Amino acid sequence: MNHVSCPHCGGLTPYRIRPDGLFGCDECGNLVDPRDISLDGNEVWGVDAECALVVFADPVTAFERLHEYLADFLDDPADSYGEAASLNAFEWAAADLIDAIHAGIQLPEMEN
């Protein structure tokens, strides 16, 4: 999860949601319309507990990665490099899901 900071006044001040639905910089007053937020294909945006604009991995793809890396982990030989790499990738996917939960994003349905 990454805060989106204002590039117009040094890049340190995160944009915060305003009552009018725009995001604003408290330092210089620059405004961003949510429709103008550009994301790469695997990201979504949200608002954290401090009302700041945050970008994080799409929980749908993070969930898919979680399943994929768990399957890899179970297939890898015990104590192998592949097993360690799969576990590490699983932890990153889990961290991305936790970020989404903290931002209030609804997680995908679990398959039984």
CB 90 within 8 A of CB 73: yes
Please give the residues from 63 up to 102 whose contact with Zn ion meets the rule CB under 5 A. none
Provide the minimum distance between the beta carbon of 9 and Zn ion in the complex, in angstroms, as a whole number.
3
Q: Residue 3 or residue 102: which is nearer to Zn ion going by CB?
A: 3
Q: Which amino acid is at 73?
A: F
Is residue 22 near Zn ion by the rule CB under 5 A?
no
Q: Which of 23, 25, 56, 97 binds Zn ion (CB under 5 A)?
A: 25
Is residue 53 near Zn ion by the rule CB under 5 A?
no
Provide the minimum distance between the beta carbon of 21 and Zn ion in the complex, in angstroms, as a whole number.
18
Q: Residue 9 or residue 105: which is nearer to Zn ion going by CB?
A: 9
DSSP assignments along the chain, one per residue: -EE-B-GGGTS-SBEEE-TTS-EEETTT--EE-GGG----TTEEEEE-TTSBEEEEE-HHHHHHHHHHHHHHHHHSPTT-HHHHHHHHHHHHHHHHHHHHHHTTPPPPPPP-
Q: Which of 3, 17, 22, 30 binds Zn ion (CB under 5 A)?
A: 30
Contact set with Zn ion (CB under 5 A): 6, 8-9, 25, 27-28, 30
